[in-house]
Amino acid sequence: MTSVTQDTLLITVAPTGAETAKSDCPQLPTTLAELVATAQECEAAGAAMIHVHIRDDEHRPTLDPHRLRDTVDALREATDLVVQLSTGGSVHDPLDARLRVLDAAPDSCSLTMGTTNFGDDVFANPWPFVCDLYQLSQERQVVPEFELFDLGHVAALRRLIDRFGLPYGGRVHCDLVMGVPGGMPGTADALVAAVAALPPETTSWGATGIGRTTLAVGLAALSKGGHLRVGMEDVLTLAKGVPVTSNRQLVERAVAMGELAQRRPMTPAEARELLNVRSAP
Ligand code: KMH
Ligand code: ZN
């Protein structure tokens, strides 16, 4: 019998991202050793999945295939977390390199459902690329998490499922990424609208609010029965003028918010069941 119930909460940690410079935020985990230590701490605190961006020796974002594979191996060795690799990378990464992320055979991959303005940049996800990445995830048996930055992305998910069927594993898990300058606002109203528009095939969804929208989005997501993504990819302050010093703090806060909503953190095994990821090789 499944232990995944409405009383459980999937907490995903996104510890690094591609946007923050190590020089601006020395506590950002950018080396493999820092990433693994963060992952272990966050798992102990209540996270069940990790959304991973990696950096090179100069702490710059990279999609180097060997590093990606080593990262997946190291996280599998050191934790039970569901390992989700970002296929979004940084706004400067070419589309072919983003497709090759799946060569590292993660449990899950992010899959953004459309192009969005991203601050002063553009996060490019043209429809043919979305289709190629989706079909590749089906072929490689990697469970996608659909990243929805805008209501148009929600509509595009309907179109994708109609054209190519369900993802590998049969579950449709979405993450509303809200409050990006250029995407949908990080408000309860926007969250309610986006959740109402999710296709009926959706089996689970979570949300993350960027920057100062993090609490409004997290509380709204809990109110609507959704899951949470937190981490230094998305927010660098706990309150105005109070810097985040570790990803663990954000996971602990998510656990505390979940407790108020009478939701206990899901274990990694329960997250695997929720998402139906293939068993580790
Ligand atoms: N770094 C952003 C441009 C993802 O991981 O798939 C894209 C991003 C989304 O973070
Ligand atoms: Zn990301």
Whether 8 is in the pocket of ligand 1, judged by its Cβ within 6 Å, is no
We report the CATH number of the domain holding residue 148 as 3.20.20.70
Q: What pLDDT is stored for residue 2 in this prediction?
A: 53
| Confidence (pLDDT) at 47 | 99
pTM value surpassing 0.95: yes
Q: Is 87 in the pocket of ligand 1 (CB under 6 A)?
A: yes
Residue type, 10: L
Beta carbon of 18 within 6 Å of any ligand 1 atom: yes
> Is residue 262 scored above 90 in pLDDT?
yes
* Tally of structural domains, the chain: 1
Could you tell me the pLDDT band of residue 5, with boundaries at 50, 70 and 90? confident
- 78: CA distance to ligand 2 center in Å? 21
Domain assignment present for 123: yes
What is the dihedral angle through the alpha carbons of 271, 272, 276, 277, rounded to the nearest 10 degrees?
Answer: 130
In the predicted structure, residue 1 carries a pLDDT above the cut 50: no
Q: Which atom of ligand 1 is nearest to the CA of 19?
A: 1
Q: What is the pLDDT of residues 196-243, one digit of tens each?
A: 999 999 999 999 999 999 999 999 999 999 999 999 999 999 999 999
Cα of 53 from ligand 1 centre, angstroms: 8
Longest dimension (CA), the chain: 48
- Does residue 53 sit within a domain? yes
Domain assignment present for 256 = yes
253: in domain: yes
- Cα(52) to ligand 2 centroid in Å equals 7
Residue 57 lies in a domain: yes
Angle at the Cα of 115 (from 110 to 121), degrees rounded to 5?
A: 100
Asked if pLDDT for residue 148 goes beyond 60, the answer is: yes
Query: By residue range, what is the domain housing residue 251?
Result: 8-275
Phi, psi of 183 (to 5 degrees): -110, -165
Q: Is residue 2 part of a domain?
A: no
Query: Element (H or E) spanning 131, and its range?
Result: helix 127-140
